[in-house]
Structures are given as C-alpha cells and as structure tokens.
Amino acid sequence: MDSFGRQHNYLRISLTEKCNLRCQYCMPEEGVQLTPKSELLTTQEIITLARLFVKEGVDKIRLTGGEPLIRPDVVDIVGELDKLEGLKTIAVTTNGINLTRLLPRLKEAGLNAINISLDTLVPAKFEFIVRRKGFHKVMEGIHKATELGYHPVKVNCVVMRGFNEDEVLDFVDFTKDLPLDVRFIEYMPFDGNKWNFKKMVSYKEMLDTIKQRWPELEKLPCETSSTAKSYKVPHFQGQISFITSMSEHFCGSCNRLRITADGNLKVCLFGNSEVSLRDHLRSGASEEELIQIIGAAVSRKKKQHAGMFNISRMKNRPMVLIGG
C-alpha cells in the first residue's frame, strides 16, 4: 500500500525488450539500445520476484514486453506462475503475431486473459504503423482466442488523429458478432514516439462520434481500480472501453506496479524513477530486505502523474522498454 492508501494487487512483468514489430508510437524509428542479455532477468529471477509479490498480496500478473510471446520459455513461465497460490489471473499483452501457434499451449499452462494490440482494420495501414507485415496473423490470433473460450478478448487500439480516428466506428462494429472488448487508448507520450497534443483524440470526442451512430449506447458498471470506461451497443456480443490516461487520468485508483525486463521496479508508468530489484537479488538480499525495498519504493509513489503537457517533456523510457 502506498502513502495515499492505494492497495497494489496488479503486477506487470516485461519478459523481453525485443519485439517483432516496430510500432511508431511504441518504438523510435532508429530502434532502441537493447540491454545485454546478462543484465536481463533470468526465468528463475522472474519467478522468484513474482512469488514474492504474490505473497505480499498481488493476485494478477500480466506478462508484457517488448513482445512477450517471442521469449522461448514463455509457456514455461506461465506454467510456473500458475503454481503460485493466491494468484488469480495470469494475463498477457501481445501483438498477436505468434498467438495462433502458441495459444493452445499457453491456455493449458494457465493463461486466462489476453490483450491483443491492433490499431487498424486496414492491412495497408497496419504495415505502415508497425513497419512490418502480419495483419492477417493478428486477425487469426483474435479469432483463435475467441474459439478457445477467452471472453472477452481485449483488443487494444491506440487512436491517433490523422491515422486511424476514422476507423473508430469500424472497431465498434467489430464487436457485433465477436466477444471482444475493443479498448480505445488515448495516444500517450514516450521517448522517441514524436507525441504532440494535436495527434491525441480524447475519449469524449470518440464517444460523441460513436453516439451519433449508436445513440442507444449503454454505459457499463466498472470496478473501482479499472482503467477503462466501458460501454456496449445493445445486442452486440462484445463491448468497447476507453483508456483515458491523458484527458481524465485514473491515478486515484491505481493498483499497478511494473517490473522491466532488466529488473527495475516502476511504480508509475509515467514516472522516471526506478529501483533495481535485479541488483538487490544478485547481491544476495533476503526476502525480508526485498520486501522492504519494494515497500519503500511504493510508499514514494506520487498522488498522480504530472499531466499530459508535463509528461510530454519528461524523460522516460520508450514504450517498448516499459511494457506500457
């Protein structure tokens, strides 16, 4: 718990800094300097830290990247996490390229929630934004997830003016016959993604556009710690949500912590302060010492992030290195 009474029960662990796509809002055009393998968390270190956090009250772990599904032992990691008593949810955020091939084994190992990133339903636009091919593999992965019983399959869509804001209605229509939760994410600033205010489409603008087409749109109830404002078109199988990190932050109910692939604890996605759990682990810190180090970092967590204009000027890692 931090000094503002927020209970943190959700941990995001980045399994790798590498990715098989090059999304423009996530990775700088020139790429990123990768951390040497010896400085990344080993599989055993990941499980050790996960066990510690679960023992202290974390009941949901999300595996991120980079692209987590390119890590060769990702199925084994899910299997080890599934053995942790008290852990209720093991989730993954993926670009979907390798999902169809791996999902049956991931499900068997214990994976029970999936987020898939997809910013356009137009194949040519997809290649432009991710600087790679693969649109049909992602779509195949989405359908595979619904077939295997993942309900809902969350689809993350970063909305950028001048690129895909004209597809918002198409994405809503995508939920008509599939059990999806399409999550429209406000464009956020990270190092190297050339963010500017004019590119950001606020959730209220998107909501107005959707209500013009579907005036019967219904607001859905949500959990206190949820980052999403959720809605549903009556009789559609799926739903839509808005992640309003920029226009209406949800810092007051934040329950998330992050561990980067090189073992740093980040208590805020938009904060630039980090604590190396890897270094403490490798120097032989006891479990009690690690708990104190983590507790001290969490207690220093600020009440809220600095606001969109200040965030855009702050030094932070590129998104691909945070598991954003």
Mean pLDDT of 104-133: 92
C-alpha distances in angstroms, 44 versus 115, 116, 124, 248?
25, 26, 41, 38
Check whether 189 has a pLDDT greater than 80.
no
Q: Give the highest mean pLDDT range of 103-112, 268-277, 303-312.
A: 103-112
Q: What is the pTM of this model?
A: 0.89
Whole-number pLDDT of residue 273:
79
pLDDT band at 323 (very low <50, low <70, confident <90, very high): low
Q: Exposure of 20 by Cβ count < 10 A (0-12 exposed, 13-18 middle, 19+ buried)?
A: middle
Q: SS3 for 194?
A: coil
**Mean residue pLDDT across the chain:** 89
Q: Give 227-248 pLDDT, tens digit per residue.
A: 789 999 999 999 999 998 777 7
Structural domains in the chain, sorted by start: 10-321 (3.20.20.70)
**Spatial CA neighbour of 124 closest among 132, 112, 116:** 132
**Spatial CA neighbour of 174 closest among 132, 123, 139:** 139
DSSP assignment of 241-276 equals: EEE-TTTS--GGG--EEEE-TTSEEES-TT----EE
- CA-based torsion, 195, 254, 289, 86: positive or negative: negative
Unique residue bearing structure tokens 């979907």:
96
Check whether 191 has a pLDDT greater than 70.
no
Q: SS3 for 152?
A: coil
- Other CB atoms within a 10 A radius of the CB of residue 222 amount to 12
Per the CB < 8 A criterion, the answer to whether 222 and 181 are in contact is no
Q: For residues 268 and 146, which has the higher predicted lDDT (pLDDT)?
A: 146
Whole-number pLDDT of residue 37:
93
Query: Which amino acid belongs to residue 199?
Result: K
Distance of CA 321 to the CA centre of its chain: 12
Tokens of 300: 């220093």
- Other CB atoms within a 10 A radius of the CB of residue 149 amount to 10
Report how far residue 203's alpha carbon sits from residue 164's, in angstroms, rounded to the nearest whole number.
Answer: 14
Check whether 95 has a pLDDT greater than 90.
yes
Range in 67-76, 98-107, 254-263, 308-317 the model is least confident about: 308-317
Non-local (6+) Cβ contacts of 197 within 8 A are: 308, 309, 312
Mean pLDDT of 38-59: 97
Report how far residue 115's alpha carbon sits from residue 229's, in angstroms, rounded to the nearest whole number.
Answer: 16
- CA-based torsion, 252, 15, 65, 91: positive or negative: negative
Whole-number pLDDT of residue 320:
52
pLDDT band at 324 (very low <50, low <70, confident <90, very high): low
Q: What strands, in cross-sheet order, belong to the sheet with 256-259?
A: 218-219, 228-232, 239-243, 180-186, 153-159, 113-117, 89-94, 60-64, 10-14, 256-259, 264-266, 275-276
Q: Give 197-206 pLDDT, tens digit per residue.
A: 677 899 999 9
Check whether 151 has a pLDDT greater than 90.
yes
Q: Give 211-226 pLDDT, tens digit per residue.
A: 999 999 999 998 766 7
Q: For residues 249 and 196, which has the higher predicted lDDT (pLDDT)?
A: 249
Whole-number pLDDT of residue 200:
86
pLDDT band at 307 (very low <50, low <70, confident <90, very high): very low
